[in-house]
Every structure is written in C-alpha cells, then in structure tokens.
Amino acid sequence: MGLTFGIGFIFVPIFSIAATKIGGDLAPLLVSAALCVLPSIVLETCIERKSYEHDISVDESNGPAPQINITNVVRILQKPGVLNVMAKKNGGVISFLMIIAVLNGIVLGTATSLNSLVRTFSPLFAGSLLQNYGFQSLTLLGVFGSLLAIGLMIVSPVDENLIKKHKTE
C-alpha cells in the first residue's frame, strides 16, 4: 500500500502535466479515469482467474453449516418469548446505540471525505508547484509548513495536564 501510494505520488503529477500539455485542461481527468480502469484490464488479461478466484472448502464433519436467511430469522423470532427477551435486553439501550451509530457514521464519513479530498488535490498542488516553481518549491513548502506548526505551538501551547499524568502523593 505504501509503495503504491509513493509511486502514485511521484507519477501522478508527471502524468497530469504531460496530459495537460498534450490534451488540454480536461486531459488529466481522462488520464485518471484510464488509470482507474487499468487494474481491471491487467486482471482480466494478464493474471489467470484461478489464481484469485477459488472455492472455499467447507468443513461438514459436524453437519451442514446453518443457513442464515430471512426465513430462518423470522422462524426463530416467532418462537415464544424470543422477541420479548430481545426487546427487554435491548430496549433500554437502542436509542443510545442509534445515536452512537449515527455519530460514528458522521465521524467516519468526514474523515474519509477529508482523506479523499487531500489525496485528490495534493498531486494537483504538487504538480502545479513543480511546473510553476520547480522542485525546490516542495522543500520550501516543507519548511513553511514546519515553521507554521512551530508558530502555532508558540502561540497556542498544549496544556501539559492533557499530556502527562501528575504523580499523586
């Protein structure tokens, strides 16, 4: 995964600049779409299907595996007392669990979208810096980013109580 990201970080700006020079402003999007289709083409043409598709053997020494489908779930729920027990055990916490699930969904969605946003625009930004200001601009970006972080630490220091626990006597 790291190797793929590193190679993508190196080659995407090169492909974007080359595509823009050859085909105009829309070309990088088309090149990106073509690069997304490339793994499927490689998988279909170069790699044998049996190397990545195989049957999972099922151990049936204890009898056939139980089938989980809607019919069996309804049959189990219709047994006397099952629905009552489920309602009593989960009724008090269901609203709390729903709130936690929604909050987790919001947090995960936000984190994923921000990650995608950064991964989308960072190659564009790096390619633009390389094209307009040269390779040295990337080192200056690192220096300014570090200075900005140091400045923020000086202006708004982190409360030490949040970092380490004090010894109690």
Report the SS3 class of residue 159. coil
Confidence (pLDDT) at 166? 61
Q: Decide: 19 and 30 in contact? Cβ < 8 Å.
A: yes
What separation in angstroms does the CA of 26 have from each of 14, 65, 145? Answer: 15, 53, 31
| pTM value surpassing 0.85 | no
pLDDT at position 41 over 80 = no
**pLDDT tens, residue by residue, 101-123:** 778 788 888 888 888 888 888 88
Give me the helix-helix angle, 82-90 and 70-77, nearest 10°.
90
- Two tokens, residue 28: 């990088």
Of all helices (H) and strands (E), which one includes residue 36? helix 27-45
Q: Mean pLDDT, to the nearest integer, of 157-168?
A: 68
Q: Decide: 57 and 49 in contact? Cβ < 8 Å.
A: no
Among 3-17, 46-60, 103-117, 149-163, name the one with the lowest average pLDDT. Answer: 46-60
